[in-house]
Amino acid sequence: VNNTITDNTALGLLLQTNFNSRLQGPSTDDVQVNVADNYIANNNASDSIWAISATYITGTESRWVISDNVIHNNTGQSSDGTAALVLTFDAEVAAEVTGNAFVNNSVRASIRLVHQAEALRGRPQIHYNTFANSNPLQELVCLLQDESNAVNASFNFWGTEAFSEINALIYDGLE
């Protein structure tokens, strides 16, 4: 919380759980991880700018909330998968991305969401984010293994109100 990550030439920030790790709350197996109020700017990465990996978490149900971050003026060099934020989750993780600003980044996508399992703990929620980047192929890329848990990406600012233009900024793997 409240970090500034700037002027890097590799991955700006990596937050990763350990292989077969166990997150545990004070009195229950439910855990909430908050990644909030960070400023990530002016990074030039060969791949993604910011990667969060919550996989191989066993024995708990966790909720990862990525909120109120500013991801600004970053550049990704990879032509096939560069994203400002890559989120990789497994079946026991619920994801919420809300209130973030993706502004003036030169990347393939603002958010690349990868589900590593067929059954998710609820639909990923992506709300109240601002997407204002220069020429992205997509702002939101969702690689789903279970289309019944499609991402809920309502109430975001896409830089346009035209449904066809918004639809072109989202890749959900179902097209």
pLDDT tens readout for residues 71-112: 888 887 665 557 888 877 765 677 889 999 999 988 888 888
pLDDT at 65: 87
Over residues 125-139, mean pLDDT: 87
- Residue 102 vs residue 60, higher pLDDT: 102
Residues in the chain: 175
| Residues in Cβ contact with 160 at an 8 Å cutoff, skipping those fewer than 6 apart | 166
Q: Where are any strands of DSSP class E within 24-152?
A: 30-36, 39-41, 44-45, 50-54, 61-67, 70-72, 75-76, 83-89, 93-98, 101-103, 109-115, 125-127, 130-132, 140-143
User: Picking from 63-72, 88-97, 154-163, 165-174, which range would have the lowest pLDDT averaged per residue?
Assistant: 88-97
| CA separation for the pair 76, 107 (Å, rounded) | 5
**Are the C-beta atoms of residues 23 and 62 closer than 8 Å to each other?**
yes
Q: Residue 173 pLDDT > 80, yes or no?
A: no
Angle at 112 between CA 109 and CA 117, to 5 degrees: 160
